[in-house]
Structure 1
Amino acid sequence: MSPTKQWSPGSMYHITARGNRRYSIFRTNTDRLKYLRILEDAREKYPFILHSYCLMTNHIYLLLETKEHPPGKIIHHIHYRYARYFNKKNGFSGHLFEGRYKSVLIRNSKQMMDTSCYIHLNPVKAGITSKPEEYRWSSYKAFVTNQSNKHVHTDRILAHTNNGSKSHYKFYVEMKHHQFNS
């Protein structure tokens, strides 16, 4: 999102960011846990709602709803702190992320549902796993099992399924997976 774009509280965005030169931004599980801790710190400072996420080896996907602060302020805080941590830990300097993050404004419920599916299917499309529920570093399990995830709020997305049905969301994701592979 460019600084000239309009922002209003309550807007939802599909946020993506990739490692500089497509290098890994997460080398260990500890790195991913650190990113999620920094994300939680950012949520305290700049309140927002995280609806879905997936942390891949060299990129991140977030479905984020703003409250009082534009997404740029939130993501800058998270990525600045994470890059400092990562560079110090690995003896690096310079940019960790490739350019500015990318954002797409979510304009309706269908786009929100499709974006959440897209985020959750990334480990499958990357060939890391054949089932999204097997990937530890996404919010998918919170949508389809009774396993909670303190980082995400599933209620808004599940509200668009049949009576908040987790099995209906799973079916929706599976149908999207088959559409991508057709």
Structure 2
Amino acid sequence: MARKLRVWYPGAMFHITSRGNRRAAIFYDENDQRAYFDILEQARIYYPFHLHAYCLMTNHIHLQLETINHHPKDIMKMLNSRYALYFNKRHRLVGHVFQGRYGAELIETIDYELEVSRYIHLNPLEAEMVNKPEEYRWSSYRAYVLGEENPHVRTERILGHFKEPREVGYRRFVEGEV
């Protein structure tokens, strides 16, 4: 049976997830995370998109991605296939790196857009990897609440939903102080 076609239109926003095969790690060390970002930026050159939030966990990824003129299947095919080639070569492995098809939830409301951003940024805290979400280096949260420069992510759209000082409002929203 054929796969169900995913809804897509220019400017659509998605919560994209991709998990390691058999829930195995897809990032062994910092070199792997850096390589993932390098490949992400290569994909952005071929298939421009806006990245609003991300979190690279040990065995899966979360991306809050807004398309411009390309279907997310093109973006994710390039990103996942190139990363799998890199990962297998570097670690002298063979076979699938990712478990099945990537997940893509269409985001069609502001409330859901904000909820996805919060969910992504709380992932390391929920996994008990850190005590505070800003302690996790491989997420976009620090760019949101600390104003840390991050070339991969655009914070303006999400922060635009909060009153000044926006970073404080966003932190309160994410960490449950609202």
- Any unmatched runs of 5+ in structure 1? none
Q: SS of the residue aligned with 1:7? A: coil
Asked if the contact 1:15/1:101 (under 8 Å) is kept, the reply is yes
Q: SS of the residue aligned with 2:22? A: helix
Q: Amino acid of the residue matched to residue 21 of structure 1?
A: R
- Any unmatched runs of 5+ in structure 2? none
Q: Deviations over 1:55-108 (max 9, x none)?
A: 000000000000111001101100100000000011111110000000100011
Asked if the contact 1:144/1:169 (under 8 Å) is kept, the reply is yes
Asked if the contact 1:54/1:60 (under 8 Å) is kept, the reply is yes
Give 1:16-165 correspondences, 5 Å limit. 16-163=17-164, 165=166
For 1:137 and 1:173, the matched residues in 2 are separated by 17
Return structure 1 stretches of 4+ with deviation > 2 angstroms.
none
Q: TM-score, normalised by structure 1?
A: 0.94
Q: Deviations over 1:29-50 (max 9, x none)?
A: 0000000110011001100000
Q: Amino acid of the residue matched to residue 46 of structure 2?
A: K
Tell me the CA shift for residue 4 of structure 1. Answer: 1.8
Tell me the CA shift for residue 164 of structure 1. Answer: 6.2
Tell me the CA shift for residue 5 of structure 1. Answer: 2.7
Tell me the CA shift for residue 3 of structure 1. Answer: 5.5
For 2:6 and 2:73, the matched residues in 1 are separated by 11
Q: TM-score, normalised by structure 2?
A: 0.96
For 2:165 and 2:92, the matched residues in 1 are separated by 46
Asked if the contact 1:158/1:164 (under 8 Å) is kept, the reply is no
For 2:33 and 2:165, the matched residues in 1 are separated by 29
Aligned residues: 176
Q: SS of the residue aligned with 1:92? A: coil
Asked if the contact 1:133/1:141 (under 8 Å) is kept, the reply is yes
For 2:62 and 2:77, the matched residues in 1 are separated by 15
Q: SS of the residue aligned with 1:60? A: strand
For 1:25 and 1:6, the matched residues in 2 are separated by 28
For 2:45 and 2:156, the matched residues in 1 are separated by 20
Asked if the contact 1:12/1:65 (under 8 Å) is kept, the reply is yes
